[in-house]
Amino acid sequence: MFFKTTVWSSGKPNNITGAGFGIRIPKEIKENIFSEQWGHVLIKTNNHSFKVDITPGFWNKCNELRNPQIGLWLIENKLNHWKSGFPSEVGVEYLGSQDFKLTTI
């Protein structure tokens, strides 16, 4: 399953280390694919794969997956800057189990 989503930043992201960046997970995707039993997911890109912890807040109102590796990928793909209110879009493919692939669109 493939879906489009937007990127997230803490408001003070680090454009060197990638800290303070993430991707939003749409509510319907979170409810239909994610399991509260998961402590993490595995994100794959063309060059890397890395574990992203799921925070307790994810199950409430903070529907972002946050990780500096996501930020580094956004920086590498020049998706780390956007006009206020218009975050960059990315593609996410659910690969099964707890695995997802992050792509540019």
pLDDT over threshold 90, residue 79: yes
CATH 2.40.330 matches 2-103? yes
| DSSP bridge pairs for 92 | 3, 102
54-76 mean pLDDT = 94
Please return the burial class of 28, using the count of CB atoms within 10 Å of its CB with bins 0-12, 13-18 and 19+: exposed
The pLDDT value recorded for residue 50 is 96
Do 94 and 100 form a contact (C-beta atoms < 8 A)? Answer: yes
Do 96 and 39 form a contact (C-beta atoms < 8 A)? Answer: no
- pLDDT 10s digits, 26-52: 999 999 999 999 999 999 998 899 999
Could you state, in order of their start, the residue ranges of all structural domains in the chain? Answer: 2-103
3 state SS of 7 = strand
CA gap 25, 7 in Å, rounded: 9
80-100 mean pLDDT = 96
| DSSP bridge pairs for 101 | 44, 93
